Amino acid sequence: MQTLDLVIIIFFLASMAGYGIWQGRTNRTTGDYFLGGRNIPWIVAMFSIVATETSVLTFVSVPGIAFRGDWTFLQLAFGYIFGRILVSIVLLPLYFREGITSIYEVIGKRFGRNMQKLTSVVFLVTRILADGVRFLATAVIVEAVTGWSIPLSVLIIGIVTLVYTLSGGIRTIVWLDSVQFVLYLAGGLITIAFTLNGLGVGLPEALATIGAEGKLRIVDNDWHHLLSSPWALPSAVLGGMLISFASHGVDYMLVQRVLGCRDLGSARKAMIGSGLFVFIQFTIFLLAGSLIYLSAQGAEFQKDREFATFIVTYLPPGMKGLLMAGVLSAAMSTLSSSINSLASSTVTDLLGGTSTLQRSRLISLAWAAVLIGIALLFDESDTAIVILGLQIASFTYGGLLALFLLSNTKIKFHTFSLSGGLLTGMGSVFLLEYAGVAWTWYIACALAINICTTLLLEAVLRASGSSGSPARRD
């Protein structure tokens, strides 16, 4: 890293923190802090959704996928668009009709406070593990590019993110997310332009060369490994659709953005539009990875370090700083969103919504300390915890989605049936993983198993004449 690169990075970090402190003066209530006064423009919410779901793992891994293979990853992105359409049709009307702060209030109103708390705890555990480990992965990339140690990288990113998150709340987060989205997308475009210039050819010629090697294939028509390969067409598209339906429908960190929109129509535009921009984003970074492959001329890089190696080895001073700011943007947008949503769910679901603005900020501080602690506690050699953190959403999303779908029925359920179905659905994913089933099928299987188990347990309880009270329907 040259002096110019460090100046760019320091300016970027200072600007993020300064804007958060300045914007924080507009927060008067917890409604402002957690939902932005329900006055967030849908375009800003849309960019914030994309930035939030784009971790550093996406930023550095997607180019690596194209570098090592082809573009079949885009099949997932097609599924993502369909999944967000489902969210807009099935779940968003329910959330806006109820006028809620946390989406798990829907479960509480339908099935009682105990189920609301249980689903909130599942969400909290999911976010702590998944985002704590993503934070660690970010520090590893920052260390590779800057030479800073992992603990120093964790503390710098964590403290700056904490400053603007605690002060500004969700309104600051979504606006900065939008800036960060533009920044790391620009990083991908800069990489494409720089690589094409170095190759001395136009984009059509480069694509023709890449295509001749079979590296532009998008559709995988090999159905022989339908259940074991995540990239077979039905597996990728259906899996992507259900992953998006679950993540953007029942994961509060992502739904929180659209709850801050003015009305249902704005929320739907933000939700569906985010799917289209994710598709564009993946296309840009896959193209960057393919062009880096051409530029490297057969050189071998460490897996998932292709983009980072390219930044360090090939980019001139100034561009390194801009790309590093893109990496930090992807990290900070996810971390800030996680901190705020963890605090919001804690206040609303576990504490009953009775919290002052100052107390909400203290809860945010506590969750930030937990996430920073996880990243400091483990290192890159802890493969098991890394894999668990990255896959944890696949273990919980199917069960949570089943609960929300069951809440739309008129059937009365006992809490035991609902809890048993939720735990069975999540537990089934471990068996699927052991059996070698592709992760794109996890949510579909967990969803089906959860619903079937809940219905079966409910039938058994009714047949046995259980005296327990069914979970209420308000």
The string of pLDDT tens digits covering residues 443-459 is 999 999 999 999 999 99
Q: Buried b vs exposed e over 255-278: b needs ≥16 C-beta within 10 Å?
A: bbbbbbbeeeebbbbbbebbbebb
Share of the chain above pLDDT 70, in %: 94
Residues in the chain, total: 474
pLDDT of amino acid 66: 92
The alpha helices in 378-410, defined as continuous H runs, are 383-407
> Does 442 or 468 have the greater pLDDT score?
442
Lowest-confidence pick of 55-59, 310-314, 338-342, 365-369? 55-59
Over residues 75-84, the pLDDT tens digits come to 999 999 999 9
Above 70 in pLDDT, residue 384? no
12-35 average pLDDT score: 83
Whether residue 387 has pLDDT greater than 60: no
- Three-class secondary structure assignment of 116-155: HHHHHHHHHHHHHHHHHHHHHHHHHHHHHHHCCCHHHHHH
Contact 250, 404 (CB under 8 A): yes
SS3 261: strand
pLDDT confidence of residue 207: 94
Instruction: Identify the CA nearest to 272 among candidates 292, 252, 293, 249.
Output: 249
Residue 385 pLDDT > 50: no
The CA distance from 145 to 323, in Å, is: 10
The pLDDT score that the predictor gives to residue 389 is 52
In terms of average pLDDT, the best of 38-42, 68-72, 85-89, 298-302 is 85-89
Determine the Cα–Cα distance for residues 79 and 242; give it in Å rounded to an integer: 8
Is the pLDDT assigned to residue 414 strictly greater than 70? yes
pLDDT higher than 90, residue 187: no
d(CA 70, CA 167): 43
Question: Using one digit for the tens of pLDDT, what is the confidence trace for 50-75?
Answer: 988 887 767 777 888 899 899 999 99
Domain ranges of the chain: 3-390
Indicate the average pLDDT of the chain.
87
Is the model more confident about 390 or about 122? 122
Distance CA 222, CA 196 (A): 32
In this predicted model, which residue has the larger pLDDT, 385 or 239?
239
Measured between alpha carbons, how far is 421 from 425 in angstroms, rounded to an integer? 6
Tokens in use for 197? 């210039």
Pick from 30-44, 45-59, 157-171, 414-428 the range whose average pLDDT is largest. Answer: 414-428
Mean pLDDT of 319-341: 85
Rounded Cα–Cα distance for residues 71 and 65 (Å): 8
Query: What is the DSSP secondary-structure string of 233-247?
Result: HHHHHHHHHHHHHHH
**Tokens matching residue 159:** 């403290």
Burial label, 139 (beta-carbon count in 10 A; 0-12, 13-18, 19+): buried
C-alpha span between 146 and 195 (Å, rounded):
21
What is the rounded CA–CA span in Å between residue 411 and residue 406?
8
Helical ranges in 251-314 per DSSP H? 252-259, 264-296, 306-314
177 vs 92, higher pLDDT: 92
pLDDT of 364 higher than 80: yes
Lowest pLDDT segment from 53-57, 95-99, 395-399 = 53-57
Place of tokens 């800030």: 336
pLDDT band with cut points at 50, 70 and 90 for residue 380: low
The residue ranking higher by pLDDT, 56 or 270, is 270
CA proximity to 17, closest of 352, 336, 259? 336
What is residue 381's predicted lDDT score, i.e. its pLDDT?
53
Q: Which residue has the tokens 């550093």?
A: 56
CATH architecture of 3-390: Up-down Bundle (1.20)
Residue 408 pLDDT > 80, yes or no?
yes
* Residue with more model confidence, 309 or 258: 258
| CA-based nearest residue to 404, from 255, 269, 297 | 255
pLDDT at 383 over 50: no
Say which residue, 466 or 88, is predicted with more confidence. 88
Whether the predicted pLDDT of 474 surpasses 80: no
Look-up: residue for tokens 């300064």? Answer: 18
